[in-house]
Amino acid sequence: MRGLLCLMCIMKRFVGLWALVLIIVTGQVCVGVAGDATVAVATNFTVAADRIKSRFQIETGHRITLISASTGKLTSQIALGAPFDVLLAADQMRPKWLIENGHAVDGSQYTYAVGRLALWSAEPERLDQTSGGPVDILKAGQFRWLAIANPALAPYGVAAQDVLTKLGLLARLRPKLIYGENVQQAYAFAASGNAELALVALSLVLCTGNSDKSAFVQLPTALHRPIRQDAVLLDRGAGNQAAVEFLAYLTNTEAARIMRELGFKVGQGVAQ
């Protein structure tokens, strides 16, 4: 009995890459004592993460706390020692940086979702069929303000800037841009009427229940770099069973269903 207990302690102590790989490959979650984990999540994925968290907690008994902010802000907090166990980023660059700088578990990074960009307005008539497609609307420039997330902090801001650059509009529209600290704040600028239009995550539009198709249009993915959103197990979560299991849970069919409902394309390795 003592030998078994020691073996269990050793296994918990060294949970990391191989434990995560085993869970992802088998699609199984180990049953054990309920634990707690804190997950840092990019703003655009907050609603999806909350729905996935609810299912995960029911099935496992673990308790997950979500902390939401821009990917850039969360990364800075992690580097300064913020007590997070998992990062669900909105890009690939920052999880990679965290691994390279000793803040995350090598080999645990993977793409859990691919985001999409939409042009949205609280005034549906701005995006009706007579206005043309999103490219025509942006080129016409018949608006005072266009809200986007800050490209220095938020990957969706980078994607929005990509779109304007690709269309040759960045210089012309720069005076009309207002920047949110994250994509949720950019959405809020347009929702409050402080901007007529916003280039935001499609997931934000769908999760708010805005089903009026004239109120938003999806941007062609060819206009921006793929928004590959990566997850990574942070050093603090390496010995945390709840954190490891939650990271693995993102790859199952229920999580994939939730992601698709909110406009995401599921990432490589996620159950189809």
Structural domains of the chain in order of their starting residue, each with its CATH number = 34-114+229-266 (3.40.190.10), 117-218 (3.40.190.10)
Query: 82-118, pLDDT tens digit by residue?
Result: 999 999 999 999 999 999 999 999 999 999 999 999 9
pLDDT at 130: 56
**Reported pTM:** 0.81
Q: Is the pLDDT of residue 4 over 60?
A: no
pLDDT band at 164 (very low <50, low <70, confident <90, very high): very high
Give the tens place of pLDDT for each residue, 13-23: 334 444 444 44
Residue 201: its pLDDT value, please?
Answer: 92
Half-sphere exposure of 170 (CA within 13 A, CB side): 13
Reading phi first (left if > 0) and then psi (alpha if -120 to 50, else beta), residue 195 is in: beta
CA distances to 73, 75, 102, 155 from 79, rounded to whole Å, are: 10, 6, 9, 18
pLDDT in the model for residue 17: 41
Distance CA 23, CA 25 (A): 6
For the cut 70, the answer to whether the pLDDT of residue 272 exceeds it is no
Give the percent of the chain with pLDDT over 90: 70
Q: Mean pLDDT in the chain?
A: 86
C-alpha–C-alpha distance, residues 161 and 157, integer Å? 6
> How confident is residue 213, by pLDDT bands cut at 50, 70 and 90?
very low
